[in-house]
Amino acid sequence: MHTLETLPFDNAFARLPSTFYTRLAPEPLPRPYLVAASAEVAGLIGLDPAELTRPEFPQIFAGNQLLPGSEPLAAVYSGHQFGMWAGQLGDGRAHLLGEIAGPGRGWEIQLKGAGQTPYSRFADGRAVLRSSIREYLCSEAMAALGIPTTRALCVVGSDAPVRRETIETAAVVTRLAPSFIRFGSFEHWRATRQMDTLRQLADYVIDRFRPECRDAATPYDALLRDVGRRTGELIAHWQAVGFMHGVMNTDNMSILGLTLDYGPFGFMDTFDAGHICNHSDDHGRYSYKSQPQIGHWNLYALGRALAPLIGEQGAVQAAIEESYAPAFERHFMDLMRAKLGLTQALPGDEDFIGETFGLLQDHHPDYTQFFRQLGRLPAQVDEAGRVAADAPLRDLFIDRAAADAWLGMWRARLGAEARPDAERQATMQAVNPKYVLRNWIAESAIRAARSGDYSEVHAVHACLSRPFDEQPEYERFAAPPPEWAAGLAVSCSS
Ligand code: AMP
Ligand code: MG
pLDDT per residue over 348-364, tens digit each?
999 999 999 999 999 99
Q: What is the mean pLDDT of residues 2-17?
A: 97
Q: Which ligand is nearest to the CA of 113?
A: 1
Q: Over pLDDT 70: what percentage of the chain?
A: 100
The answer to whether the CB of 485 falls within 8 A of the CB of 440 is yes
Residue type, 165: E
Question: What average pLDDT does the structure give for the chain?
Answer: 97
pLDDT at 418 (0 to 100): 86
pLDDT at 422 (0 to 100): 97
Closest Cα partner for 260 from 172, 178, 332, 170?
Answer: 178
Residues near ligand 2 ion, CB 5 Å cutoff: 252, 261
- Distance from the alpha carbon of residue 434 to the mean position of ligand 2, in angstroms: 29
What are the tens digits of pLDDT across the range 276-285? 999 999 999 9
pLDDT at 103 (0 to 100): 67
362 assigned to active site: no
- Distance from the alpha carbon of residue 261 to the mean position of ligand 2, in angstroms: 5
Q: Is residue 104 predicted with pLDDT exceeding 70? A: no
Q: What is the mean pLDDT of residues 37-53?
A: 97
Return the residue whose CA atom lies nearest to atom 22 of ligand 1. 92
Q: Is residue 238 predicted with pLDDT exceeding 90? A: yes
Structural domain boundaries in the chain: 4-180, 215-335, 343-431
The lowest-confidence range among 48-57, 290-299, 373-382, 483-492 is: 483-492
pLDDT at 129 (0 to 100): 98
pLDDT at 486 (0 to 100): 82
pLDDT at 92 (0 to 100): 98
What are the tens digits of pLDDT across the range 146-165? 999 999 999 999 999 999 99
Q: Is residue 322 predicted with pLDDT exceeding 70? A: yes
Return the residue whose CA atom lies nearest to atom 20 of ligand 1. 125
The answer to whether the CB of 74 falls within 8 A of the CB of 171 is no
Q: Is residue 491 predicted with pLDDT exceeding 90? A: no
- 3-class SS string, the chain: CECHHHCCECCCHHHCCHHHEEECCCCCCCCCEEEEECHHHHHHCCECHHHHHCCHHHHHHCCCCCCCCCCCEEECCEEEECCEEEEECCCCCEEEEEEECCCCCCEEEEEECECCCCCCCCCCCEEEHHHHHHHHHHHHHHHHCCCCECEEEEEEEEEEEEECCCEEEEEEEEEEECCCCEHHHHHHHHHCCCHHHHHHHHHHHHHHHCHHHHCCCCHHHHHHHHHHHHHHHHHHHHHHHCEECCCCCHHHCECCCCECCCCCCEECCECCCCCCCECCCCCCCCCHHHHHHHHHHHHHHHHHHHHHHHCCHHHHHHHHHCCHHHHHHHHHHHHHHHHCCCCCCCCCHHHHHHHHHHHHHHHCCEHHHHHHHHCCCCCCCCHHHHHHHHHHHHCCCCCHHHHHHHHHHHHHHHCCCCCCHHHHHHHHHCCCCCCCCCHHHHHHHHHHHHCCCCHHHHHHHHHHCCCCCCCHHHHHHHCCCCHHHCCCCECCCC
Residues with CB under 6 A from ligand 1: 89-93, 119-120, 123-126, 247, 251-252, 261, 263, 492
pLDDT at 19 (0 to 100): 98
- Distance from the alpha carbon of residue 198 to the mean position of ligand 1, in angstroms: 23
CB-CB neighbours of 208 under 10 Å: 16
Q: What is the mean pLDDT of residues 242-263?
A: 98
